[in-house]
Amino acid sequence: MGGRESDMVLLDANGIRCDGRRIDEPRRIMIKAGGLKNADGSAYIEFGDNKIIAGVFGPRDVHPKHMSDTDTGILRVRYHMEPFSVSERKNPAPSRREIEISKVIKEALAPAVMLEKFPRTAVDVFIEVIQADGGTRCAALSAASVALADAGIPMRDMVAACAAGKVADTVILDVNNEEDQAGQADMPVGYMPNLEKITLLQLDGVLSAEEYKKCVETGINGCKLVYELQKKALQEKYFQNGGQQN
Ligand code: UDP
């Protein structure tokens, strides 16, 4: 949180945000299942101005072998931002932030994936952010879930993700980059709607107990909207096109 809220109007007198949205309105979301010919499963997501591809490989042999587990499969996630994905060129080397986001996405996906069915193997998830505009971890997590389902990996549920936050002392749904930089709080939430379980919850900023509760509820509502679009993306690939596209 930049704490620079006074510099810009994040919420006007009519309750309209800096990008024209109402407080409970998500950005435009488009999800497509498939697309990568060489992956076992893949997905593409546009979440506002975020554009992200996820590719899933496996279950497959683990290299190096000592990393394998005789009792269960392992999940590996790499989140990577292209140098051109942000306005100020990002160094292509993995940053601390990318390592952290890879870890939280892995931990958010793990409860959904039935890894115990594939001992000694690995499921690899590669995430490429080609354009970033705030909320990439949520968009990436949502795309990765669809890619895992597209790969036919048995899952307990899909993880849908969306952030809630606070600007101008008001709880908002789906925080964009400007709101993330200059607002008061950003709370990414990952949620399995069928199982009613949260698998990702982070908070940057300060909230009262009441605001915290409202943010969690708002984030979950966003996840439910994303979940419908995840299911629609899979239905479009498998039921409307006969599974012909990649
Ligand atoms: N960002 C950037 N350069 C970087 C890293 C991030 O411009 O090296 C921007 C990008 O738009 C990103 C936003 O800052 O979406 C917020 O980043 P954060 O670490 O909060 O993660 P995110 O909200 O993307 O999950």
Asked whether residue 12 is domain-assigned, the answer is no
pLDDT in tens, 48-71: 999 999 999 999 999 989 999 999
Q: How far is the CA of 206 from the centre of ligand 1 (A)?
A: 19
pLDDT in tens, 173-213: 999 999 999 999 999 999 999 999 999 999 999 999 999 99
Asked whether residue 10 is domain-assigned, the answer is no
Q: How far is the CA of 90 from the centre of ligand 1 (A)?
A: 10
Q: How far is the CA of 225 from the centre of ligand 1 (A)?
A: 23
Asked whether residue 74 is domain-assigned, the answer is yes
The answer to whether the CB of 177 falls within 8 A of the CB of 209 is no
CATH of the domain at 68: 3.30.230.70
- Give the residue numbers spanning the domain of 110: 29-238
pLDDT in tens, 74-93: 999 999 999 999 999 999 99
Q: Tell me the three state secondary structure of residue 218.
A: helix
Closest-lying ligand 1 atom to the alpha carbon of residue 140: 25
Asked whether residue 3 is domain-assigned, the answer is no
**Domains in the chain, number:** 1
Percent of the chain with pLDDT strictly greater than 90: 93
Sign of the torsion angle spanned by Cα atoms 140, 144, 145, 147: positive
pTM of the model: 0.95
- Which of 177, 178, 181 should be mutated for ligand 1, with most atoms under 8 A from CB? 177
pLDDT in tens, 86-114: 999 999 999 999 999 999 999 999 999 99
Does residue 203's CB lie within 6 angstroms of at least one atom of ligand 1?
no
Exposed e or buried b per residue across 83-95, where buried means at least 16 C-beta atoms within 10 angstroms of its C-beta: eebeeeebeeeee
Asked whether residue 21 is domain-assigned, the answer is no
Asked whether residue 86 is domain-assigned, the answer is yes
